[in-house]
Amino acid sequence: MTDIKKLLHFIEQAGMLLQMPRSHKRSLITSFDNIASHSYHVCVLSYCLSRTEGLSVRDSENAVVMALFHDLEEARTGDLDFISKNYTKTDEEKAINHQFSKLHFGKELVELLNEYIEGKSKVSQCVRDADSLAQIYHEWVLMWQGNKLAEQWFKADFIERIPHLFTNTAKELVNAMKSSNPNEWWWNELVEKGGRVKTKEHLLGKNYK
């Protein structure tokens, strides 16, 4: 079994991600995420993509685990933004092996992350698309908040990033963003119905059925 102190050290590394803003903040300025929140969003997206693409529940659960740990090595290597990646290389494999070597269940997680890095399986491709979608979503929200830099990034994604997505579902979701906004989900459900604006009582949350 895993030594409890070594398990604690592993958990501490995951906790560091809560305190680490993503490095794109220096370019986007108003970025609102950190590495941990990004990983959470990738988990949700990974499950949704996997199921929509026809993967089994078991494979979709594996996608969630893969997504959960896909950036954990950044607790050791740091997060490189698009500028830094042109000049700096990190040894992800070394960091991953060091992180999981002291855990009795570490080998299975290393294998899962190696599958993600290789990107050949359908599961890993869903997670890779989810990772890209989380970034695109972030830019989209910032764009609607008036961030012109994020708007430039979002528009560039349709040339540089989206054509290289693996799944049709991911591509369809990004295209759906173009005709939507980040508040549409609740405005459509709670305010509008058939083009008719609902009553004041409904807007105040007193008439939701």
List, for residues 59-92, the tens digit of each pLDDT value: 999 999 999 999 999 999 999 888 898 999 899 9
The pLDDT-based confidence of 195 (bands split at 50, 70, 90) is: low
pLDDT at 196 > cutoff 80: no
Locate tokens 């693409």: which residue?
Answer: 53
Q: What is the pLDDT of residue 117?
A: 95
pLDDT at 99: 95
Where do the structural domains in the chain lie, given as residue ranges? 4-178
Kindly state the tokens that stand for 24: 């794109």
Residue 23 identity (one-letter amino acid):
S
- H helical segments located in the chain: 4-16, 25-28, 35-52, 57-69, 74-77, 92-100, 106-118, 122-144, 148-160, 168-178, 184-190, 200-203
- Identify the CATH assignment for 4-178 out of 1.10.238.10, 1.20.1440.230, 3.40.190.10, 1.10.3210.10: 1.10.3210.10
pLDDT on residue 33: 94
Report the predicted TM-score, pTM, of the whole model to 2 decimal places: 0.90
**In 3D, which of 43, 40, 21 has the Cα closest to residue 31?**
21
> Is residue 24's pLDDT more than 80?
yes
Residue type, 21: P
What is residue 192's predicted lDDT score, i.e. its pLDDT? 76
- Average pLDDT score over residue span 105-116: 96
